[in-house]
Amino acid sequence: MHSLLRERLVGSAPARVITVSSNVHGSVKQIPWDELARGEPSYPLSKLANILFTVELAQRLTGTGVVANCLHPGLIRTQLGREVRGVAKLLVAAAKPFMGAVQTGAATPVYLASAPEAAEVTGGYFFRGKQIEPSALARDPEAAARLWTLSEELVA
């Protein structure tokens, strides 16, 4: 991202990068760096990585006219989980009455992409159109920088 899209983003400023994460990121208490290097992240770890990516990207784009934010869409009634089996299928079915409509899940990304006030915020984590605090680990700038460096090494 940094080397492949940065020039285009900066050249298109004002621009916005929006990354989808999940509140499940908070279940990760420490980053298993060796697992990441082997490409074995879990779903919660991947959602934490999305936030850390956003934090580092926002820092790297400071002053360019490009903002980077991420969001938790909420528990939304989508096709996610349609192919699960066994106990997981039962859990998905039990959760359906508590899931929001797709329009509810889309509201925050649309807000971040279009609201004038959202252009003034970078490195934020949003839920239901409001900036909220992610986990302490998701706010760790050293972890964000380390993940960025590891990602660059893995894709080189």
Which residues are known catalytic residues?
Answer: 43
- Looking up tokens 């490195």 gives 123
Backbone angles phi, psi at 18, to 5 degrees: -125, 125
C-alpha–C-alpha distance, residues 146 and 71, integer Å: 21
Q: Which residues pair with 15 in a beta bridge?
A: 66
What's the full length of the chain, in residues? Answer: 156
Closest by Cα among 51, 76, 57, 64 to 7: 64
Tokens of 39: 């490409």
Per DSSP, the three-state class of 72 is strand
Tokens of 135: 């986990």
Closest by Cα among 147, 112, 145, 138 to 25: 138
